[in-house]
Copies of this chain bind each other. A is one copy, B any other.
Amino acid sequence: MRATVSVPGKVSLFGEHAVVYGEPALVAAIGKRLTVSVEGRSDKLIKIAAMDLQVPGVVLTFNEESPELIVETDYGKIVGAVGYVRKAIEIVSGRLGKKGGVNVTIRSEMPVGAGLGTSAAVAVGTVAAYSLLMGEELSLSEIAHLAHQTEKAVQGLASPMDTSVATFGGILYIKPSAEPVVEKLSIARDLPMVIGYSEREFRTSDLVKKVRALREAYPDIVSSTLKSIGMISQRAKDALVSGDVESLGRLMNINHGLLDSLGVSSKSLNDMVYSARFAGAIGSKMTGAGGGGCMMALCPGREVEVSTAIRIVGGMPFRAAVSEQGLKVESIDR
């Protein structure tokens, strides 16, 4: 028996880093997907094959009873995904009170580890496909919850944002607090975007630490910047709902500069951001934790020009509109 699901990647539209300090943020599912396929085995082994379209595949096998990993090749960042698969299977097995050996195959249309939420997508996809294989249809909320538990278990700390948007799709507005507000937005029009990718030089945790250190050194300046980013998310929410694309673009430009002032942008990100504007983007900004990784450009009708501009400065462009489609069951073969 085999169950296959697909899960969207995400971009952080507004509010990255500031969300860590309680400011609102906006995250959107994109039309690039990650597919998780789970097939039953007669033994208790768990075998994971991860095929990132960007890097050669990697195949890993481990025995549920022992902590040993049998790594057949360790090439590519996708190796990191293995931890999420293993933990998701463990958590779902615990929830369902049953478990079995499986072959897990992961395919990604996006670069992995680039801030596009691939780890959350792996967690959501594994929870969904593995529970289907075990004969249980969990609710979307429960899938999102178990996937968030998975991320927390692997990373120590995780926002529920990435797993939520991967599960439900669309655009989520989140305002963190003791009782966080999460609101799914109905947006007035399509948002055709080009995403530019460059190699990441720093880890998310290091960038979060960098902002924290800057905030400690210059508390009033940096706190004010983080608050401004929160105000941008607020204004952007209104602009999304009313379909004011021009304003969204301007807010992206402002937000990029503020992130730059926090020290989380990079030469490669700035090159792509400014090239995109030069090529006619209404707005562009880095997206995610920064230190390399992805930027996005809002550029209706100028996708070709903006893609070319990003490629010229050494980035890898791909088109990815905001997508309403969240988790999708692709097939169940019995």
Q: Which residues of A contact B (CB under 8 A)?
A: 214, 217-218, 220-222, 224-225, 227-228, 231-232, 235, 247, 250-251, 253-263, 265-267, 270-271, 274-275, 277-278
By beta carbon, the residue of chain B nearest A260 is B257
In the complex, which residues of chain B have a beta carbon less than 8 angstroms from the beta carbon of A265?
257
Interface of A is mostly: helix
Q: Apart from A224-B227, A254-B263, A256-B261, list 11 A-B contacts with CB within 8 A.
A: A214-B250, A218-B231, A221-B228, A224-B231, A225-B225, A225-B254, A253-B261, A258-B261, A266-B274, A270-B270, A271-B271
Q: In whole angstroms, how far apart are the Cα atoms of A260 and B265 in the complex?
A: 12
Taking a contact as CB atoms under 8 Å apart, the answer to whether A257 and B257 are in contact is yes
Q: In whole angstroms, how far apart are the Cα atoms of A87 and B180 in the complex?
A: 63
Q: In whole angstroms, how far apart are the Cα atoms of A325 and B186 in the complex?
A: 62
User: Assuming the A-B contacts A267-B274, A267-B275, are A224 and B218 also in contact, with contact meaning beta carbons closer than 8 angstroms in the complex?
Assistant: no
Q: Please tell me how many copies of the chain the complex holds.
A: 2
Q: In whole angstroms, how far apart are the Cα atoms of A3 and B217 in the complex?
A: 50
In the complex, which residues of chain B have a beta carbon less than 8 angstroms from the beta carbon of A263?
253-254, 257
Q: How far is the CB of A76 from the nearest CB of chain B, in Å?
A: 27
In the complex, which residues of chain B have a beta carbon less than 8 angstroms from the beta carbon of A278?
267
CB < 8 Å: which of B221, B247, B254, B258 contacts A232?
B221
Taking a contact as CB atoms under 8 Å apart, the answer to whether A218 and B274 are in contact is no
Q: How far is the CB of A310 from the nearest CB of chain B, in Å?
A: 13
Q: How far is the CB of A196 from the nearest CB of chain B, in Å?
A: 15
Taking a contact as CB atoms under 8 Å apart, the answer to whether A257 and B259 are in contact is yes
In the complex, which residues of chain B have a beta carbon less than 8 angstroms from the beta carbon of A232?
218, 221
Taking a contact as CB atoms under 8 Å apart, the answer to whether A254 and B221 are in contact is yes
User: Assuming the A-B contacts A256-B261, A257-B259, A270-B274, are A221 and B235 also in contact, with contact meaning beta carbons closer than 8 angstroms in the complex?
Assistant: yes
In the complex, which residues of chain B have a beta carbon less than 8 angstroms from the beta carbon of A254?
214, 218, 221-222, 225, 261-263
Q: How far is the CB of A252 from the nearest CB of chain B, in Å?
A: 11
Q: How far is the CB of A279 from the nearest CB of chain B, in Å?
A: 11
